[in-house]
Structure 1
Amino acid sequence: MITKLKIKDKKSKLLKSPYYLLPTTSYPLKEGQVMIIALVFLAVVLIIASSLFSRVTDFIRFGSNSVLKEQATNLADAGLDYATQRLNDLAGAYPDADGAGTDTQTLSTGQVVITVENKSQNLRTITATGYIPNQSSPRAKRTVKADVIIDSQQISFRYAVQTGEGGVSMANSSMINGTVYTNGSINGSGSSTINGEGYAHGTISSPDPTFNCEQLPCKHENTPEQPLPTIENPDINTLKQQAEAGGITNCTPTCTLDYNQPLTTERYNGNLSITNNATVTIMSGPIYITGNFTISQGGTILKLDNSFGSNGTYLIVDGVVTQTQGGQIRPTNANPKGYILLVTNSTSDSAISLSQSGTNAIFYALQGGADLSQSAEVTSLTAKKLTLQNSASLTYDQGLASATFSSGPGGGWIIKKGTYKFTSSP
């Protein structure tokens, strides 16, 4: 039998119940307390909702600004492309006749402001800024910048003379001022001189030619064959097509230019002769002659227009190239100069025949030879073989190591690689 415990309080009073029971108490809410709790809960919900709404609004605003900035960038890029195309369409005379200035174009999405700086005949700097929706009150603005140049081909004429297996023959006080490289031999006589080094896949005669160079030895025999400079991008056939696109003149059998006049991109079916002390200026190229080319008489001049700057251009001849009686061929006055490159496809040993002074140009016989005589002066010559005699001289221009050639200032404007810059604007 379990004995029930009796508990006394501290005052030694017996509890009415022999068991200790926990007290239970209820506190009824006073009037208005439910409303306060509801308001607090609602305030918390509103604060959270407001925070989320602010974040969503910021996200939407950020997305909208990103779209506007992208549109402004697209406008700026379009302005750059537009300016480049206008330079091509207007032969470099954009936005004004001097090839410099500012142009504003309004499009459906916004405005673009184009600024062109004329750095040289063959170099422009274009800055294009796109505005959304307009320049006066833009919500977005972006600027791009790039240099544009005349598209040109670089051909390295690294030597004063370079020939194929036909070699170099010198006689009668002829002189070469510069380095000679041949896949054949170098033979000299009659006090001929090379002021530079000579490289020959074959042999070099002695005692002539006499060599003068800064660092000995000057003569190098049994050297490896060196490929001749290549004309590519565009190649000869493409250049002929470009000339034909400029127009065709039929010569029966010879077209004679005997008065001052310009010469532009064109194909001449037949022979072309410049004579009678005329001054003929090449304004654009290439020029293609299906027959022979001749320039004669001391006062006759074929020159490259100074607008080419340091770029040269092509005069392509299927027949032979002949200069007599002191007819002159001149480069531009830029530094470095721009030269006329006369290229012949003739297989004749006299594909290039030059006599007397004045031919300050580059000559290239792709498949034939060249003869220089009677004080002929040449800047650089490449041929299958070369013969110099009767005090003929050839003086190399160091700038030809990286010579460039183009169709001229009227075409071929392209963005120069590595110059495109993006400017982030507010």
Structure 2
Amino acid sequence: MLNLKSKNKQSGFAALYLAILVLAVSLTLTASIFVLTSIQQKNIQNNIKSSQSYYLAEAGLEDAILRIKNAMPISSNYIIAIDSGQTAVSIASPNPNIRIIRATGTKGSVSKTLEVQLSIQTINPEFFYGAQAGTFGVVMENNSRIEGVAGQAGNIYSNGSVTGAPGATITGDVFIATGMSEDQSHTLYNNNHIFGKDNPIIDVAQSFKPSVTDKLVKASVYIKKVGNPDDANVNILTDSAGSPSKTVLAQAELEKSLVGTSYGWVDIVFLTPPDLIQGTTYWLSIDASDDSNDYWVWGKDSNQGYGNGLAKYVQNWNSATPLWLEIVGDLNFKTYMGGQATFLRDVVVLGDAYANTITNSQICGSAYYQAIDAGSLNFLNSPSNPTCPDPLTPGTAYPETADPPLQNMPISESNINQWKEEALEGDILNGNLVVDSDISYGPKEIDGNIIMTSNNKILTIEGTIHATGYLDVSNGSSIRCSPNYGLNSCVIVVDKWAHFENNGAFQGSGSSGSYIMILSTSDCDGTFFAGCTHHNAAMDLHNGATGAIFYANDGFIYLHNGVIVSELTAKKIQLEQNAIIRYEQGLVNSSFSAGPGGSWKVENWREVE
């Protein structure tokens, strides 16, 4: 009986113990679930706040980008309150063409920071000379001058002859390059060839056979870029069993600044032109770097229509045993052979003169030439006042000097096509733009003409303008860059002629180093009149326009009596009597952007913390 009671007590204790244990475990599990649930709810809330903070920061970036792109008022630091959260925005400006925007969105105790970098896309042509002429050269009438501002020297570079008249004066140096003519070319474009992006298509080459024995002075390629590749080496190579050899006859540089994001012809000048033999195979080769983000695209004809050559590629042309592989198609190219004599005639040069032939000219510096007449040589050896300034020092003669090499024009067709693309960022105007009141305009493509013949009207450029017709400015009307361009310069591109008279005026943004450029793609070069302005020209200037650049790569610019401009570049330039080109040194560093709004591009967008 006692044993039975003892066993019952033990069983009851065990049951109680088990019940307590189960309860403890249950309580522990309940507490754990409660804690885990609380943590999960807190994490969910934090995730929600984190997402809200991210979107708040994103909203801050978008607000700042909108203000910057549209030139709206904006502070370097400001706060935006949105519902129960806020965004703190800060803007740094390392230089005038870069903005770094940082936005911190905060919701409760949770913050997210995003950063974006904006940059202005610019084209930076280098205007080293007061005047730069193409193959048709320069004509200077009585007492016309090419000089620098405030008594500085004004230099000129011409790919054609320079002729003058009594009193025609160049206050700096004159360079007259060797003459040339186009020889081989294949311009049919129907496909793209990417190189410098992925192995093994890194280096490319196109073969050709010259039709004459002469010096190769220039080549041109139809090309565009993706991203911002480094400058590439261009080689002229001999042939080895139907592929490029490693024997370099000449080398030049494909300058990335001359290549745009749209196709265009880009010139490559050989400073030491190689001697090529008629009917012999040579290779025009481009040596690129491999970069999947920054690379080149060369236009080609997939039908292999060029009968005097073929195209090939290789990973590294200068490796021990390069294995060149054939490209299906011929690459678009042109070659130019030299040998045509150019000359300087009837001009006073206060600096040095470089030309194949010098006649009837008064040179106060030194002379570099192949031939010179007795009168020019006598003056060189015994200069006199008032033609030359004191102190009078005899110049040095350098006979049998090689002709100066051709000089690339500062702006390529590819650059121009990029500006035309930028103009398309705005709407297209079908018809003429008639400026009969003060307006701000751009970016815009105008399928027509720009007419500014009303009295004293102002056209303010807010973005690149491209007109498929002509530009006519007169009666005191003016064109200027918006102040929002800052240190950058603006451009108007017209496909036909441009005419300026009766005190038409031009101005940059108002900041030092800002200019306006008027660019015509017309091929009116003075040899025909159909579709041209006065004097069969692409541009006709009747009045002064300091602070402006006038550019007609394929055309003729005529400068009237007494007109003063800052810079001219054209296939042919003519200065009427007393006309002056007065070069400004700041033109070397001019930067042309698409405009104060449309030109800002997002370079990167990232979460900082």
TM score, norm. by length of structure 2: 0.49
Q: Secondary structure at the match of 2:586?
A: helix
Contact 1:79 1:114 in 2 (8 A): no
- The aligned runs of 1:111-130 (5 Å cut-off) are 113-116=88-91, 124-129=99-104
Paired letter, 2:70: A
Compared with structure 1, are the counterparts of its residues 147 and 259 closer, same or farther at alpha carbon in structure 2 (3 Å cutoff)? same
Answer yes or no: is 1:261 the counterpart of 2:237: no
Counterpart Cα distance in 2 of 1:351 and 1:111: 57
| Superposed displacement of residue 249, structure 1 | 3.0
- What secondary structure sits across from 1:370 in the alignment? strand
Q: Distance in 2 between matches of 1:318 and 1:169?
A: 24
1:183 to 159, 178, 189: 159
CA root-mean-square deviation: 3.8
Equivalent residue for 2:410, pick from 217, 222, 229: 229
Once the 2 structures are TM-superposed, how far is the Cα of residue 159 of structure 1 from its aligned partner? 1.6
Q: Which residue of 2 aligns with 1:354?
A: 541
1:196 aligned onto 2:373: no
Partner SS, residue 366 of structure 1: strand
Percent identity (aligned): 27
Alpha-carbon distance in structure 1 between the residues aligned to 2:83 and 2:582: 56
Equivalent residue letter for 1:295: V
Q: Which residue in the other structure is 1:316 paired with?
A: 493
Separation in structure 1 between the aligned mates of residue 599 and residue 446 of structure 2, nearest angstrom: 23
1:202-255 CA-to-partner distances (Å, cap 9, x unmatched) read 455355233247x9548788200111123477x43343344345223343xx54
Partner of 1:160: 130
- For residues 343 and 122 of structure 1, what CA distance do their matches in structure 2 show? 23
1:370 and 1:363 mapped to 2: Cα distance?
8
- Relative to 1, partners in 2 of residues 1:246 and 1:146: Cα closer, same or farther, differing over 3 Å? closer
**Unaligned 5+ runs, structure 1:** 1-63
1:85 deviates by: 3.5
Shift of 1:168: 1.3
Secondary structure of the equivalent of 1:311? Answer: coil
Specify the alignment match of 1:31 in structure 2.
none
Q: Find 1:239's aligned residue among 414, 419, 423.
A: 419
In structure 2, what is the Cα distance between the partners aligned to 1:414 and 1:396? 32
Structure 1 residues 365 and 107: CA distance shift in structure 2, 3 A: farther
- Tell me the amino acid that sits aligned with residue 92 of structure 1: A
> Which residue is equivalent to 2:478?
301
* Separation in 2, partners of 1:306, 1:119: 20
Q: Which residue of 2 aligns with 1:343?
A: 519
> 3-state SS of the aligned residue for 2:496?
coil
1:368-418: per-residue Cα shift (whole Å, max 9, x none)? 11111122222211111111112111122222212111121122324679x
Whether the aligned pair in 1 keeps the contact of 2:549 and 2:568 (CA below 8 Å) is yes
Which residue pairs with 1:33 in the alignment? none
Cα deviation, 1:258-307, whole Å, max 9, x if unaligned, reads 3322222223233222123333232422112211111112x221111211
* Aligned 8 A contact 1:128 1:144 in 2: yes
Letter in 2 for 1:198: V
Normalising by structure 1, report the TM-score. Answer: 0.68
Matched, 1:406 2:593: yes
Q: Aligned pair 1:86/2:66, yes or no?
A: yes
Displacement of 1:164: 1.3
Q: Is the 8 A contact 1:258 1:278 kept in 2?
A: no
- CA distance, structure 2, for counterparts of residue 245 and residue 144 of structure 1: 27
Number of equivalenced pairs = 340
CA distance in 2, matches of 1:291, 1:386: 22
User: Alpha-carbon deviation of 1:144?
Assistant: 7.1
Q: Give the C-alpha shift of residue 199 in structure 1.
A: 1.0
Q: Can you list the C-alpha shifts for 1:114-173, whole angstroms capped at 9, x where unaligned? A: 213578875544333466xx4x645xx786777643222222222221111111111111
d(CA) in 2 for partners of 1:263 and 1:79?
29
Is the CA contact 1:212–1:218 (under 8 Å) kept in the aligned structure 2?
no
Label 1:241 to 1:423 Cα distance change in 2 as closer, same or farther (>3 A): closer
Structure 2 unpaired stretches of 5+: 1-42, 148-153, 179-341, 353-363, 370-401, 526-536
Q: How does 1:2-401 map to 2 (within 5 A)?
A: 82=62, 85-87=65-67, 91-93=70-72, 97-104=73-80, 113-116=88-91, 124-129=99-104, 134=107, 137=109, 148-177=118-147, 178-202=154-178, 203-206=342-345, 208-212=347-351, 216-217=365-366, 222-231=403-412, 235-251=415-431, 255-297=433-475, 299-337=476-514, 339-349=515-525, 350-358=537-545, 360-401=547-588
Map Cα deviations across residues 326-365 of structure 1 (whole Å, 9 max, x no partner): 211112210222x222111111121111122235311111
**Alignment partners' CA distance in 2, 1:396 and 1:336:** 13
Q: Distance in 2 between matches of 1:366 and 1:278?
A: 30
Q: Secondary structure at the match of 1:346?
A: coil
Against the structure 1 CA distance between its residues 414 and 265, is the aligned structure 2 distance closer, same or farther, given a 3 Å change threshold? Answer: closer
CA contact (8 A) 2:176 2:344 kept: no
Change (3 A) 1:231 1:77: farther
| Cα separation, 2, equivalents of 1:241 and 1:391 | 39
